[in-house]
């Protein structure tokens, strides 16, 4: 299944993108939705703030994986940064790198596509078995995630909280 929506290059579009993800993934556990919303928010913000471009958000779902893609028409290629505690921004791709099971950047002649993947989980928090998942693929996925244990989201809820605490500590040095 694929659901997609275009957004204007406006700050309000970031909240719209989060809401779109929340609606499309409403049947997923809260931890999955929160992680997808956060990462989508970071990628959408990059489109507005750095690419200065309208963007398309596409969500591909299979029984095994959720793949979220954000494409824009901006020039340049996103780079994972390591900002100092005094810098107020620059942590978005670090967040994606930490929370996603896999992610990447695909350049195109008229911009780029940045994507991340998460495993599909049941409401009980269990991932579908590897044998079932191996027969399914997200459309257009260029790299299959390799992790397969029950901690595939890397304890996402606690990782989000820990990540935010770390970012807040860094910001407290202003």
- How confident is the model over 70-84, as pLDDT tens digits? 999 998 888 888 777
Contact 56, 83 (CB under 8 A): no
Helix, coil or strand: residue 91: coil
Judged against a pLDDT cut of 70, whether residue 91 lies above it is answered with yes
**Rounded mean pLDDT of 116-135?**
58
Best CATH choice for the domain 2-171 from the list 3.40.50.1100, 3.30.565.10, 3.40.640.10, 3.40.50.10260: 3.30.565.10
Burial class (CB in 10 A: 0-12, 13-18, 19+), 117: buried
Judged against a pLDDT cut of 80, whether residue 102 lies above it is answered with yes
**Least reliable range by pLDDT among 37-51, 59-73, 143-157:** 143-157
Q: List the domain boundaries for the chain.
A: 2-171
Judged against a pLDDT cut of 50, whether residue 142 lies above it is answered with no
Work out the percent of the chain whose per-residue pLDDT is above 70.
Answer: 70
């Amino acid at each position: 299944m694929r659901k997609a929506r275009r957004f204007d290059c406006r700050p309000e579009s970031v909240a719209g993108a989060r809401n779109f993800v929340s609606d499309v993934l409403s049947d997923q556990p809260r931890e999955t939705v929160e992680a997808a919303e956060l990462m989508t928010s970071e990628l959408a913000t990059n489109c507005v703030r750095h690419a200065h471009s309208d963007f398309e958000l596409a969500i591909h779902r299979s029984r095994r994986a959720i793949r979220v893609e954000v494409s824009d028409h901006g020039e340049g290629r996103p780079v994972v940064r390591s900002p100092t505690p005094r810098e107020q921004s620059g942590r978005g791709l670090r967040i994606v790198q930490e929370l996603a099971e896999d992610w990447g950047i695909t350049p195109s002649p008229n911009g780029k596509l940045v994507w991340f993947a998460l495993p599909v989980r049941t409401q009980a928090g269990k991932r579908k078995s590897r044998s079932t998942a191996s027969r399914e693929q997200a459309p257009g996925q260029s790299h299959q995630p390799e992790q397969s244990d029950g901690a595939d989201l890397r304890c996402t809820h606690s990782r989000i909280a820990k990540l935010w605490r770390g970012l807040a500590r860094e910001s407290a040095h202003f």
